[in-house]
Amino acid sequence: MRKRFVWLLVFAAALALLAACTSGVAPAPAGEGETGSAAAPAAGEGEAVVIHLSLGAEPPTLDPNLAQDTFAINSLEGMFLGLTNINNETEEIEPELATSWDVSGDGTVWTFHLREDAVWSDGQPVTANDIEYSVKRAIMPETASPYAYVLYIIKNAQTINQTDTSAGSYDIDSLGVKALDDYTVEFTLEAPAAYFESISSLWTLRPVPSWAIEEYGDAWTDPENIVVNGPYILTDWKHGEHLSFAKNPTYFDADNVQIDQVEVDIITDSFTELALYESGELDVAGDGPGTFPVEEMDRIKNDPVLSEELHIGPRASTTYVGFTMTKPPFDDPLVRKAFSAAIDRQTMVDDVVGSGVPATQFAPPGIFGAPDPEVGIKSDPEQAKAWLAEAGYPDGEGFPTVTYRYFASTLEESLAEALQAMWAETLNVNVKLEAQEWPVFIAGINPDTPLEEMPEMWRLGWGADYPDENNWVYEVFHCTDSTNYSRADCTAADEMAKQAALETDQDVRKDLYAQVEELMFGEEVRAAPYYHRGYTILTKPYLQRAYPTFAPVNWDTWRVEK
């Protein structure tokens, strides 16, 4: 039995240790007339090492079973151990909570052997039972996990998750996950899937503390209640403003975690973020789904100091315009084609974003199965006009005012205004822009949102969880096995995406994915991808870190070298 009084004693001791580590050592902010390195963390003997970062939006949740976005995932990565980890330097799968794993001859049974020195922050051991509990919780329809579909390869996961609980029941113990003993967990899959090794690194199936969830309900992730097993623990969360993380003294590899505190400000305005970096109040800027304002990039590149601190590279990530395919006038594929062809993708990259490359398909280069050369709809104003006329709206005549919704940030506002101008100039249509804070935005475009409350168009992006097209066309756009934000009906594209997921011949998979990309984004136009993102990150020279293409960042591997 898990004893409450033991938990209190351990947690009190941990807090005392954290307080001792942080008391009086966090650097003071620059005072009036000061310009220097307020955020530069002390790295002397006996002093806490503190770094100051930023997030572009409020995380909607810090519950691993409920998270689905970058803003939550970056925080969760530091708090909860995965069975495996994606190495930030090599981007290869490596052991984390699991020390090794075996795969049956037919590829359908994966057995993970766990380390025995991992403990929760309340002192309880991390066991295979915690993983079984987490996976079952993620799949239970009552949990409403938005990422449950990623686990549909697990035996019976889809059937259970899609059960209408008002009309029937399900047997959660039939799910293909089982703790064989305290330190061995077994997964049985619906079919062989080599990419399950990458899925094992995802936050959705990371162990969570059942006793804390059962005691506190939705409040279990509040700083005063949260129980974690990773290198950092949440110590403060001022909603809309700030999150604080402290080194977790119970983490099994705490001796190799150099940074004691991670202070994260929520900053939606990239001009403000850049100013705080330049004033020394942030150690990193731009490490999110957005980039710096394009008008600032030339100045950064020409500045002798900032140019040396600027890191530029590719992201396995794509930004797109989503269409609500069941809402007129976007229930007509000709309208969707017209709006896609009217986007001047090169201008968006060169003059609005300042990084990345134009996109016409969903998966970017480097993803297994991504077509090369790209397929989809290219920028073509004359073709856009022709398609809109064929749909019954010559030169925009009679076309209703429609809404494009995006989440509030400096970059997203610039992108939205550029799209609005392109559609007006090419198609002669009126698009109303609507900005919302991220948690409200993402909740408001869910498939269960009433159609009358949905915008006709909306902005979303996708970053790779693992480098395989399965994680793109199947797990994002499949008509039944994904969130299907576009509300697409099932077509041959969905059947081919499912077939490719189960296919073992890699050449056949590539061919299927090329057809799926062309169908989904060139013919049906479930979305209009328009650029594959790149990163433009500023990092202070004393902070040593990696810049992964698609994996969440591992704060525990960062080092401050003064």
If you average pLDDT over every residue of the chain, what do you get?
Answer: 91
**Residue 109 located in a structural domain:** yes
Q: How many CB atoms lie within 10 A of CB 419?
A: 25
Partners of 109 in the β-ladder: 188
Give the whole-angstrom CA distance, residue 145 versus residue 148: 5
Residues 234 and 332 in one domain: no
Residues 209 and 326 in one domain: no
**Residue 304 located in a structural domain:** no
| Angle, in degrees to the nearest 10, between helices 506-518 and 492-502 | 160
DSSP string, 491-551: -HHHHHHHHHHH---HHHHHHHHHHHHHIIIIIS-SEEEEEEEEEEEEE-TTEE----SSS
Partners of 359 in the β-ladder: none
**Residue 141 located in a structural domain:** yes
Residues 215 and 330 in one domain: no
Give the whole-angstrom CA distance, residue 335 versus residue 319: 20
Question: Look-up: residue for tokens 């007339």?
Answer: 33
Question: How far lies 239's CA from each of 229, 412, 433, in Å?
Answer: 23, 21, 26
Residues 385 and 464 in one domain: yes
Name every residue whose Cβ is closer than 8 Å to that of residue 228 and which is 6 or more positions away in sequence.
79, 80, 120, 121, 234, 248
User: What is the model's pLDDT at position 290?
Assistant: 67
Express each pLDDT in 433-442 by its tens digit.
999 999 999 9
**Residue 183 located in a structural domain:** yes
Which residue type, as a one-letter code, is found at position 344? D
Residues 156 and 244 in one domain: yes
Q: How confident is the model at residue 8 (pLDDT cuts 50, 70, 90)?
A: very low
Segments forming the whole domain that contains residue 459: 314-535
**Tokens read off for 474:** 């199947």
Name every residue whose Cβ is closer than 8 Å to that of residue 192 and which is 6 or more positions away in sequence.
106, 107, 108, 502, 504
Residues 228 and 359 in one domain: no
Residues 425 and 517 in one domain: yes
Express each pLDDT in 278-289 by its tens digit.
999 999 999 877
Q: Count of domains in the chain?
A: 2
Give the whole-angstrom CA distance, residue 378 versus residue 360: 6
Domain end, chosen from 206, 238, 256, is at 256
**Are the CB atoms for 287 and 535 separated by under 8 Å?**
yes
**Are the CB atoms for 248 and 231 separated by under 8 Å?**
yes
Look up the CATH number of the domain holding residue 499: 3.10.105.10
Express each pLDDT in 217-244 by its tens digit.
999 999 999 999 999 999 999 999 999 9
**Residue 94 located in a structural domain:** yes
Express each pLDDT in 377-388 by its tens digit.
999 999 999 999
Q: What percent of the chain has pLDDT over 90?
A: 82
Residues 429 and 508 in one domain: yes
47 or 120, higher pLDDT: 120
Give the whole-angstrom CA distance, residue 26 versus residue 45: 14
Express each pLDDT in 123-162 by its tens digit.
999 999 999 999 999 999 999 999 999 999 999 999 999 9
Name every residue whose Cβ is closer than 8 Å to that of residue 102 and which is 6 or more positions away in sequence.
110, 111, 113
Residues 476 and 343 in one domain: yes
**Residue 125 located in a structural domain:** yes
DSSP string, 300-347: HHHSTTHHHHEEEEEEEEEEEEEE-TTSTTTTSHHHHHHHHHT--HHH
Question: How far lies 517's CA from each of 272, 360, 381, 507, in Å?
Answer: 38, 9, 22, 16
Look up the pTM and report it. Answer: 0.82
**Residue 279 located in a structural domain:** no
Q: How confident is the model at residue 533 (pLDDT cuts 50, 70, 90)?
A: very high
**Tokens read off for 42:** 């002390």
Residues 94 and 206 in one domain: yes
SS3 category, 47: coil
What sign does the dihedral 507-513-518-523 (CA atoms) show? Answer: positive
Q: For residue 560, what is the enclosing H or E element?
A: strand 559-560
Give the whole-angstrom CA distance, residue 21 versus residue 280: 23
Give the whole-angstrom CA distance, residue 305 versus residue 41: 19
**Residue 393 located in a structural domain:** yes
Residues 242 and 379 in one domain: no
Domain end, chosen from 241, 256, 271, is at 256
- Provide mean pLDDT across the span 314-341: 97
Residues 76 and 198 in one domain: yes
Look up the CATH number of the domain holding residue 185: 3.90.76.10
